Structure 1
Amino acid sequence: MDKKTYQKSVLLCDASFSAIPLLNALQAKGFYVAVCGSRPEDPCHSLADKSYTFDYANTKKLQKIVKDNNFNYLIPGCTDISYKSCAWVARNLGLPGYDNELAVRVINNKDEYRKLGKDQNYPIPAYETESKNFKNLNFPALLKPINSYSGRGILRFENYSQLRNFLDSAQNLLPQDQSLLEEFLTGQLYSHSAFLEAGKIKTDFFVNEYCTVYPYQVNSSHLSIKLPLQVKNKMRSWLKRFAKDLNLVNGLLHTQFIFDGIAIYLIESCRRCPGDLYSLLIHKSTGIDYADLYVSPFINLPYGDIVSITPKYYSRHTLSINRDVIFLSAAMQISNQNISYVPLKKTGELLRAAPIDRAGIFFIEHSDTRTMQDLTRNLYKFAKLETLEIVS
C-alpha cells in the first residue's frame, strides 16, 4: 500500500525479532511503518511497509532519512544504541516521546546514573569510578564498562589484589573513565516496567529474573507473584522521585533491581523496550498489550484502555550456551502441553557464546504459581541444545 494512503508515518529504529511486537502494534493502529537496521536478514525488514538497511548508530544518516522521507514519528526499538540515536535525532527535529538531554545522558551512562543516585540518596550499590579508590570497596566486586549492555564486558574480582593485577597487566589496561567498580550484591534480581503519565505510574509490572548461563545476562523470567507489596511500593516511590528529578516525559521506564530480603538496590534503568520478547511475556501473563503501551507516547497518543485478564503462569527462557558452537536443534524437555518456541537460529548456523547470541526463546505456560516459580529458575536444565563443536 502506498504511503500516501496512511494518515501518519513512523520509522521504527530496529528490525530485529524483538521489535516485531512493536511493528505489529504500530500497523494495528493504521500507521505506515518503515524500519531500519544493519542486518538485512532481520525479520522486520520483510514485515514492514519499507525498510532501510544501515547502522542506526549513524545518527546523521538516521536524521537524513527521517527528514528526507517526512516521517512523522521516530520510535526506538530494543537496544540502547537505538534509543540514544533516536533521542539525538528527535531533539534536533522536535519529535515527541523523548526526554531532555540530561535525562538521556544519565539513564544511558552507568557512571552518571550512579552519580545522580549518590547525590540524591537513591538505593544504589556502593561504587567507585577512580581506580585509586577501588581499594576502598568491599569485595567481591564487579568491574563494569560504563556503556555496556546485556552484561557484556563485566568482570568479577574476589579481592583487591586480583583486581590490581588485572589493571597492571599491559594487555588488560582499560581506557580511563570508561569503567566503574561496584560491590557485588547477593539477592534476587527483578525488573520493574512502569509506564509514566504526567510523572505518575499509569500501570506497572514486576518480573523475577534469573541468570543461569551467563552470570550477568537474564535468560529466564516470570511475572512476580510473591514480591512483597512494601518492596513494590519502595520501587514505585523511587521511580516517582526519579521522574521528578529528571523531568521525565510520558513513557516506559524499565529498571532492574536486586532485593536481598531487606533492602533494594538499583542496577540500571532504560527507556527503550526490553529485548528478547519481554513484551510478549507481559502480554501472555496479563493480557495487557505492553508493545502498544510502549509505542503510544512516541506517536503522540494517550495510552489505550488497560484491560487485564486473570494472570496466567508463563515463563520465558532465552536459549543460550557458554561457548561458540554450530546450532543443530533445540527442545524443552518438560511435561507441559503449552510450550511455544521462537527460533532465532537455523540448522548449521554459528551460535556465539552468551551474552552475544541466542538460539531461540521458549514461552512455557504452567498450571499454577508454584510450578512456575520452581521451574523457571531451573529451565536451563530442561532446555536442550543439539550442536556441533567448531573445529579450528
Structure 2
Amino acid sequence: MSEDRHRLVVLGSMDEFVPLVRKARERGWHTIVCDGYPNTPAKLIADESYDVDPRDADAVARLCAEVGADGIVSSYSDLLAECCANIAQRAGLGCPLPPDRLAYLRDKSLMKGMFDELGIPYPKTARVRRGHVREDLEGMGFPCVTKPTDAWGSHGVRVLGDAREVEAAYDEVAGYSDAPYIFVEEYDDGLEFNLMSWVVDGRPVVLEVADREKSDDGEATVPWVSRIVYPSAHTDDVLGEATEMLQKVAGYVGLLNGPLCMQFFWAPGRGVRVCECAGRIFGYEHELLEYASAGAVCVEDLLLDNVYDPVAVSSRLEGHDPHLADVAAGLYFHGRDGRVVSVGGLPDESDPLVKETIVYYRPGEIISHQVGDKPYAARVYLCSPDRGELDRRTDELFQSASMTDGQGRELLLRNRRKVPEGTA
C-alpha cells in the first residue's frame, strides 16, 4: 500500500454509507468503517471495519491513531454528526465544526436561543418539565408537537391535542433525552420543506428546496413523511428568505465549509418559520438531488472533497441552480409492527420512472420500531422531467404497495399524496 494513500475513517455502516465508501475506494483511498453494528453493508465492502460504538469518542479516537487515519467523515444523522465532531477533536482530525459550535445545530435549546438572537422566526415553543406540564403550557395553542431536546430520527415527536395528552406522553418523549425537560411547539399548518445547502467559504450555496409531504390515516400518533419531492413547486417563493436565514446561521456557528440543512414551514403572506437547522445532510433522501440534477450534484463527492480538498467543492458547485433539471420523488412506506407474510405492489427498476426500490422487510421478517431498527418498510425513488407524470405514478404506487401479516392485515400505513388546494 502506498505511504501517501489517504486513510479515511467512515463513521456509519448502514446502506446509506455504501455509496460513500465505494466512491472513496474509487479515489484510491483506504477506507476504515466504524460503528457499533456488525456485518453491515458498508463494512462488507470497506478495506477495514471495526465494531466500536461511535458514542465512545475516546475509543474511536484511539482507533484512529492505531490505524493511522488522516481523515474522518460522516453525515445523514444528527447523532453521527455529533459523534464525528467529538472524535475528530480528540483525534486531531479535521471536521466542519467543533463540538461546541455544532451543538447549536443539535441541541434544540441552544438552537432556539440562536434563532432568538438572529431574529429567525420559529413556531411558538415551551420548555415543559415533568410535573409542571399544565403550568409550562400556559398560553400555548393546540394541537402541539412534542420533541425531546437532543434526539434524532423523529424519536419522541408526537402531535397532541391538549395538555392532558402531553402529560400522558411525557415519560415516553422524555425517555429519548437526558435533559430535564421536553420541548412542545405549536403545530404549524403551513407547507413543509427540506432545504439542503453547502457552505463554501462562509456562504451557503442552496443545493435544493424540497416539498416534504406527510400522510395521516388517523391511526398513527404523528403524521409520517410519505413523499419528498425535489425541487419544490414553491422554490421561488421561499428561496430568498431561506437563504438569508442560512447565512445568519452559518455566521453564528462559524461554519466555513460543510453541509447546512434546514427544515421549515411557509405559508403565503406569513413567510418562513424554521423548524430546525442541521449540520449534516438529510439521510434517505439526498439521492434525490443526484437524480433531479441529472447527476450534476453528488452528495458523496461533496462529503469526500470536504475532508481533504474543500476548494474542489467550490468548483463542483459553481453556477449550481436549485431549480434542477428534472423532478425526483422519494416515496417512504412505513409499517405497523408485525410479521410480514406477503409483499406486493412495489415496482422494480424496469419501470421507466423508477430509479431505485428498496424493500426492507421480506416475508418471514418482523417489522419493529425499536431504536436502531430499519427506518422504513420500503422506499421507492422516482424521477421524471414532468411533475404531473410523477404525481400520477405516486398515486398508483400508494394504492398498490402492500405488506400483509398471517391474518391478511395490512401492515403498511396508507400513504396519501398531498394535493394542493383548488386542484383535483
Aligned to 1:87: 85
Instruction: Pick the aligned partner of 2:20 from 15, 19, 22.
Output: 22
Higher RCO (C-alpha under 8 Å, 6+ residues apart):
1
Aligned to 1:305: 316
**Structure 1 residue ranges without an equivalent (≥5):** none
Instruction: Pick the aligned partner of 1:266 from 247, 270, 274.
Output: 274
Aligned to 1:245: 252
Distance 2:50 2:403 in 1: 34
Q: Does 1:332 align with 2:350?
A: no
Please state whether the residue corresponding to 2:34 is helix, strand or coil: strand
CA contact (8 A) 2:208 2:230 kept: yes
Kindly report the root-mean-square deviation, in angstroms, between the aligned alpha carbons of the 2 structures: 3.0
Aligned to 1:234: 241
Aligned to 2:38: 40
Q: 1:238 to 1:54 in 2, by over 3 A?
A: same
Give me the identity figure in percent.
14
Distance 2:333 2:165 in 1: 32
How far off its partner does 1:378 sit?
Answer: 7.7
CA contact (8 A) 1:326 1:389 kept: no
Distance 1:171 1:201 in 2: 37
How many residues were matched structurally?
Answer: 386
The farther-off stretch of 170-179 and 357-366 is: 170-179
Instruction: Pick the aligned partner of 1:207 from 198, 205, 210.
Output: 210
Distance 1:245 1:77 in 2: 21
* TM-score calculated relative to the size of structure 2: 0.82
Aligned to 1:323: 337
Q: Which amino acid aligns with 2:192?
A: L
Distance 1:336 1:12 in 2: 33
Q: Which amino acid aligns with 1:96?
A: G
Q: Which amino acid aligns with 1:236?
A: T
Distance 2:84 2:347 in 1: 41
Aligned to 2:402: 384
How far off its partner does 1:243 sit?
Answer: 0.7
Q: 1:68 to 1:336 in 2, by over 3 A?
A: closer
Distance 1:52 1:389 in 2: 41
Instruction: Pick the aligned partner of 1:52 from 50, 53, 57.
Output: 50
Aligned to 1:186: 189
Q: 1:390 to 1:77 in 2, by over 3 A?
A: farther
Distance 1:165 1:301 in 2: 48
CA contact (8 A) 2:199 2:257 kept: yes
CA contact (8 A) 2:361 2:378 kept: yes
Q: Which amino acid aligns with 1:66?
A: C
Q: Does 1:343 align with 2:359?
A: yes
* TM-score calculated relative to the size of structure 1: 0.88
Aligned to 2:300: 291
Q: Which amino acid aligns with 2:316?
A: D
Distance 2:172 2:88 in 1: 40
Please state whether the residue corresponding to 1:122 is helix, strand or coil: coil
CA contact (8 A) 2:146 2:173 kept: no
Q: Which amino acid aligns with 1:137?
A: M
Distance 2:190 2:393 in 1: 19
Q: Which amino acid aligns with 1:54?
A: V
Q: 1:147 to 1:225 in 2, by over 3 A?
A: closer
Q: Which amino acid aligns with 2:39?
A: E
Distance 1:390 1:53 in 2: 39
The farther-off stretch of 144-153 and 315-324 is: 315-324
CA contact (8 A) 2:71 2:307 kept: yes
The farther-off stretch of 35-44 and 351-360 is: 351-360
Q: Does 1:366 align with 2:384?
A: yes
CA contact (8 A) 2:259 2:279 kept: yes
Distance 1:323 1:227 in 2: 36
Instruction: Pick the aligned partner of 1:160 from 156, 163, 173.
Output: 163
CA contact (8 A) 1:322 1:354 kept: no
Distance 1:229 1:235 in 2: 10
**Structure 2 residue ranges without an equivalent (≥5):** 130-134, 410-424
Q: Which amino acid aligns with 1:139?
A: F
CA contact (8 A) 1:316 1:364 kept: yes
Q: 1:243 to 1:22 in 2, by over 3 A?
A: same
Distance 2:215 2:397 in 1: 9
Q: 1:299 to 1:377 in 2, by over 3 A?
A: farther
What CA deviation, in whole Å up to 9, does each residue of 1:249-291 have, x standing for no partner? 3011111111123321211222223222x22211111022122
